[in-house]
Structures are given as structure tokens and as C-alpha cells.
Amino acid sequence: MPRIAAATANGFTVDEHFGHAKFFRVYDISENGHEFVEVRDAVAACQHSLGHDTTRFDKIIELLSDCDAILVQKIGEGAAAYLIERGVRVFEVSGSIPAVLDRLVTDKLI
């Protein structure tokens, strides 16, 4: 069963930039739908004064290591390349979390 993490500020929509996400909601998905698993707290990977910190990217990768993909509203090219090089699938999407998860299943992206 695939596991998906969604970057969200409000808990209902994929509305957070990867580097600014303070937490991720984690879901298991199947052909029959999706089930909420838990919320995982994260330390934002991008800080305006520091720029990109790959150590923080690595912490998020470790935090979400059991997830098959990460849903974000936005992600910078450098961060996306860093995740992809490490085998992490990331999707830039927006909308309600249930609608996005349904679309992933319907379109057979996961």
C-alpha cells in the first residue's frame, strides 16, 4: 500500500512549499481510497537568511523515508533535483488533500 506525505499548513489542502513545511500529513492510499495515518513535525528546510540547507533536506527525507511520494504546492529546482537524486518522488500539486490523493489513484501515478 503506497504511503503519501502532504505538505500542508492548514491540514486540509496541499498548500505549503516544500522548504517551508513545518509538518506533513501522512496517508496510506489504495484503490479503495485513502486513510489518514499521522502528522509528522518537520523543521523547515529553507530559511531566508540561510538559503537551502541540504542537512535539513536530509532530515525531511529521513522523516518521510517510509513514504512513496511527497505532495507539495511548490518546490525549488535545486531541492527537487536533490530529492530526485535520492530516489524521492515529489509532486507539485494544489487542492484539497482528498481530491489530490483521489487524482493520484485515478491517474495511476502511484
58-69 burial, b for 16+ CB within 10 Å, e for fewer?
Answer: eebbebbeebbb
pLDDT at res. 53: 57
pLDDT at res. 9: 92
pLDDT at res. 107: 83
Residue 106 exposed, middle or buried by CB count within 10 Å (0-12, 13-18, 19+):
exposed
Number of Cα atoms under 13 Å in the Cβ half of residue 35: 7
pLDDT by residue for the chain (110 residues), tens only, comes to 899 999 999 999 999 998 888 899 999 998 788 999 999 998 665 554 445 557 778 888 888 999 999 999 999 888 889 889 989 899 999 999 999 999 988 888 87
Neighbouring-strand partners of residue 14: 95
pLDDT at res. 49: 41
CA 23 to mean position of chain CA atoms: 9
Domain range for 22: 3-106
Count of structural domains within the chain: 1
pTM: 0.86
Q: Which CATH number do you get for residue 25?
A: 3.30.420.130
C-alpha cell at 35: 486513510
pLDDT at res. 43: 67
